[in-house]
Homo-oligomer: A and B are copies of this chain.
Amino acid sequence: MAYLFNTAKQQRAMLQTIGVDSISDLFNQVPEQLRLKRPLDLPPPLSEIELEAHLRECAGRNVGGSSRACMQGGGVYDHFIPAVVDEIASRGEFYTAYTPYQAEASQGSLQAFFEYQTLICQLTGMDVSNASLYEGGTSVSEAALMAMRATQRREKIVILGSVHPEYREVVETYLSHLDCEIVVVSTPEGTVDLANVEAALDDRTACLIVQQPNFFGCLEDACRLTDIAHRYGALSVVSFDPISLGLLKRPGDFGADIAVAEGQPLGIPMQYGGPFLGILACRQNFVRQMPGRLIGQTIDRNGERCFVLNLQAREQHIRREKATSNICTNQGLLALRATVYLALLGKVGLKEVAELCCRKAHYAAEQLSTIDGVELMFDRPFFKEFSLRIRNGKLDEVLRNARCDGFDLGPTLRHFQSFATQFGKASEEGVLVAVTEKRTRDDIDRLVRSLRKSVLGL
């Protein structure tokens, strides 16, 4: 068998040392009547050749971003991943290590995660970042729980209707057993009306959750929203797109208390939804309420700087039911990818990427809107993603033809039930389009031709 070492002869020697006759004797704790009396009903084993042939066959029945220009958004984006990110993340010493509990034998991981925490602080303008959570949706949920602990307000949170609908659902699930009201402020114009937010908030509200740019690609007035939240003593939780921070004001700049994100755009492949990277950073005074691991700097016995797991008393393995979260295994390797990505892009590179996305997205939006029956759904500023409205029941055909022509757009708004109420019929006609730095003007022009053809019914 492929991954086993010990030969029959060695097994015999080992059994002798143990003092039993056979391997089955080792299992005498397992009551006979509980034993499975038949082999598991699993497909037969495959050699490496067969396994690879099988996986390639399966992969061949998917159509991915290598064969089509991916202009899909909704929280996951086809940004370029420099080869260096793959190279470093595939170092066995990183990806086959465990959580760095043994500091002396884990300085590599520990320092890398300390660098991650620092980079996230620099990116967001926040004071502290943890060492990762599962992904965007659970990060928003952990932020809500954290806000409730920090404010001691456990009855109500407010969340904008323009936050990723799946993330909103996750928050609902996470809070389902609590007596906590979740007020959703709807955003029929693409962004929220500040007056409606004002109306929803009160002094029982733990936090206001805003996504920037929001799910439709539009820019909320995150700064004013934060001020409003603070006026009611609620925390401002901002879910951001890390790439957008190459251009936009940082959550820390406008006073957010907790900044969370899906880190996928930072050098992580789309891989049909995961594993991704949950980012969570906050202001200094909330550090002991943070969920997840934190790496800290200290010195060793020789006075040399080194890194360790820190403030573990917040965590489940010490605090058990009193822990700030139940998370144990996190997304370390993805945090490493994000670290390398941010290091590689640096001060200038991230700005360039953000500018490219922004310019190309605006070019695409402009060109697409020249088509009769195609228009921007919302008249709002956006960054790299926008909602397109395809009128006259042509949406399906447009998307199908675009796929044939080599473009994947989406998701459609009707994919999410919650939008039917927010937008009515318009939700039947809306689709998200995201434009990353990988797309060329030629891609965009061809997409425009494809849509024009579809709409004109050619």
Asked if A437 is at the interface of the complex by the 8 Å CB criterion, the answer is yes
Instruction: Please give, as numbers and ranges, the residues of chain B lying within 8 Å of A18 by CB-CB distance.
Output: none
Q: Is the CB of B438 within 8 A of A49?
A: yes
Please give, as numbers and ranges, the residues of chain B lying within 8 Å of A48 by CB-CB distance.
80, 82-83
| Contact for A80 among B49, B80, B90, B438, CB less than 8 A | B49
- Write the chain B residue with the least CB distance to A356: B49
A282 to nearest B CB, angstroms? 34
Interface residues of A in 74-115 (CB under 8 A from B): 80, 82-83, 87, 90, 92
Which listed residue, B52, B53, B437, touches A49 by the CB 8 Å rule?
Answer: B437
Minimum Cβ distance to chain B for residue A273 (Å): 24
Give the CA-CA distance A41 to B90 in the complex, in Å. Answer: 38
A83 to B438, CA, bound (A): 29
Find chain B residues with CB under 8 A from A53 CB: 440
Which residue on B lies nearest to A438, using beta carbons?
A: B49
In the complex, which residue of chain B has the Cβ closest to the Cβ of A60? B67
- What string of 1s and 0s marks CB contacts (under 8 Å) between A43-86 and chain B? 00000110011001000000000100000000000001011000
Instruction: Name the CB-closest residue of B to A84.
Output: B48
Residues of B within 8 A of A82 (CB): 48
Which residues of chain B have C-beta atoms less than 8 A from A92's C-beta?
A: 87
Closest to A344 in B: B48
Closest to A56 in B: B66
Closest residue on chain B to residue A353 by CB atoms: B49
Q: Which residue of B lies closest to A79 (CB)?
A: B49
Give the CA-CA distance A48 to B49 in the complex, in Å: 32
CA distance A353 to B34 in the complex (A): 42
A92 to B53, CA, bound (A): 29
Cα A87 to Cα B49 with chains together (Å): 16
**How far apart sit A437 and B50, CA to CA, in the bound complex (Å)?**
11
Taking the closest CB of chain B, its distance from the CB of A363, in whole angstroms, is 17
Q: How far is B322's CA from A128's CA once the two chains are assembled, in angstroms?
A: 67
Chain A 423-447, CB-CB to B under 8 Å as 1, else 0, gives 0000000000000011010000000
Shortest CB-to-CB span from A438 to chain B, Å, is: 6
Q: Could you say which residues of chain B place their CB within 8 Å of the CB of A83?
A: 48
Measured CA separation A438–B50 after assembly (Å):
9
Report how far A217 CA is from B187 CA in the complex, Å. 73
CB-defined contacts of A87 to chain B, threshold 8 Å: 90, 92
Chain B CB count within 10 A is highest, among A49, A66, A82, A87, for: A49
For the complex of A and B, the 3 pairs showing the least CB-CB separation, nearest first, are: A49-B80, A48-B82, A49-B438
Q: Can you list 12 pairs linking A and B with CB atoms under 8 Å apart? A: A48-B80, A48-B82, A48-B83, A49-B80, A49-B437, A49-B438, A52-B80, A53-B440, A56-B66, A87-B90, A87-B92, A90-B90
Additional 5 contacts, C-beta under 8 A, given A49-B80, A56-B66: A48-B80, A48-B83, A49-B438, A87-B90, A90-B90
